[in-house]
Amino acid sequence: MSLPELYTRFVLIDRPTTFAGDNVYRKEVLPLSNLKPGPGQALVKTLWLSLDPAMRAWMDDRPNFLPPIQIGETVRSLGVGVVLELGPDCSFKVGDLIMGFIGLRDFGIIDEATTDVIRKESYHSHTEGVVPEDYLGPMGIPGLAAYFGLYDIAHLKAGQTLVVTAAAGATGSMVCQLGKQAGAKVVAIAGTDEKCAWLRDDLGCDVVLNYKSPTFQADFEKDVDRFDIFFDNVAGPVLNYMMTRLRPNSVIVLSGFISQMNKEKPEGLTNYVRMVGMRARMEAFIITDYRERWAEGREVIAKGLADGSLKRRFEVVEGLENVPRVYNRLFSGENKGKL
């Protein structure tokens, strides 16, 4: 492969206080020869980049499971790429497909320690039904968060009522489908009629509700009433409301807080007091903590992708330069599936 002389990256130049607009990024075009892999590193060419809600949290100067992105640094993002050159002691092979923290750039350096090789032999024959970009969706952070959130945090059992927010998104759609496969009654909550129709007609969710409807709470009380497990990707007012719909010993899996991410001050919860009488539990988790067990989740998910029992949608935008323009689709809900 003949390589260009220059590569492009987006660096963070300001910390957003609300939505990350154009003003927080700067595009830089630099000599590719600057990118030299060190020990345990590799030079990769980007094939796909993942736009994740977590990137917005990493732009804040607050403690998180990864350090804040520093001003002047490449904006951190996951991606799928192909290995071009190896640093000393890197066990990858030139030509390997990888999934790791490439950042918003068309060529990047990745660390072997935090990068997965996507090889056919890694995931058995099921890999037949899996495409590389799946490692940013169902086979990546969103799908694995669904799997471990449901099984390790919520201890999901057949017959339970499972409520899911941002249900048509990358994470939520996997939660819904894994929940159905496990025999739960799945209540999917999303923000557009199109997404609600997909959840009902294509994914087979039992109850589908639009949280933007003026009758949302009345509909919930009529069609669902109470739940055993609430897999919450959203937080804010819907979480506060769900705290009034607990069953005894119910579990709230706090996966994310997308409704609060662009706020300087998150909205407070008032109904948490109901958790005491219901002996309820709320537990947050970060999927990178399960890295040693990702293969277990991928085995199940790959099988579902291969036999068609698990479905996924992607919202694909061509061109690195479009990232600042399209990133906020995650927060407006314009993305239909993994962005």
Ligand X SMILES: NC(=O)c1ccc[n+]([C@@H]2O[C@H](COP(=O)([O-])OP(=O)(O)OC[C@H]3O[C@@H](n4cnc5c(N)ncnc54)[C@H](OP(=O)(O)O)[C@@H]3O)[C@@H](O)[C@H]2O)c1
Q: Which residues bind ligand X (CB under 6 A)?
A: 52-54, 141-142, 145, 166, 168-172, 190-192, 195, 233-234, 255-259, 285-287, 330-331, 333, 335, 338
Shortest Cβ distance from residue 149 to ligand X (Å)? 7
Query: For residues 65 and 263, what is the distance between their CA atoms, to the nearest angstrom?
Result: 19
Specify the residue, 126 or 338, whose C-beta has the smaller distance to ligand X.
338
Estimate the share of the chain in helix, then strand, then coil, as percent rounded to the nearest 5: 35, 25, 40
For 79, phi then psi, to 5°, come to: -160, 170
Minimal CA–CA distance to 52: which of 144, 185, 130? 144
Amino acid of residue 46:
T
Specify the residue, 184 or 287, whose C-beta has the smaller distance to ligand X.
287
Shortest Cβ distance from residue 171 to ligand X (Å)? 3
Query: For residues 104 and 123, what is the distance between their CA atoms, to the nearest angstrom?
Result: 27
Shortest Cβ distance from residue 312 to ligand X (Å)? 10
Query: For residues 90 and 283, what is the distance between their CA atoms, to the nearest angstrom?
Result: 37
Specify the residue, 94 or 284, whose C-beta has the smaller distance to ligand X.
284
Shortest Cβ distance from residue 71 to ligand X (Å)? 23
Shortest Cβ distance from residue 55 to ligand X (Å)? 10
Q: In the chain, at which residue ranges do the beta strands (DSSP E only) sit?
A: 6-12, 25-31, 41-49, 79-86, 97-100, 107-111, 116-117, 161-164, 185-190, 207-210, 227-232, 246-254, 281-284
Shortest Cβ distance from residue 102 to ligand X (Å)? 17
Specify the residue, 51 or 246, whose C-beta has the smaller distance to ligand X.
51
Specify the residue, 36 or 155, whose C-beta has the smaller distance to ligand X.
155
For 44, phi then psi, to 5°, come to: -130, 155
Specify the residue, 234 or 323, whose C-beta has the smaller distance to ligand X.
234
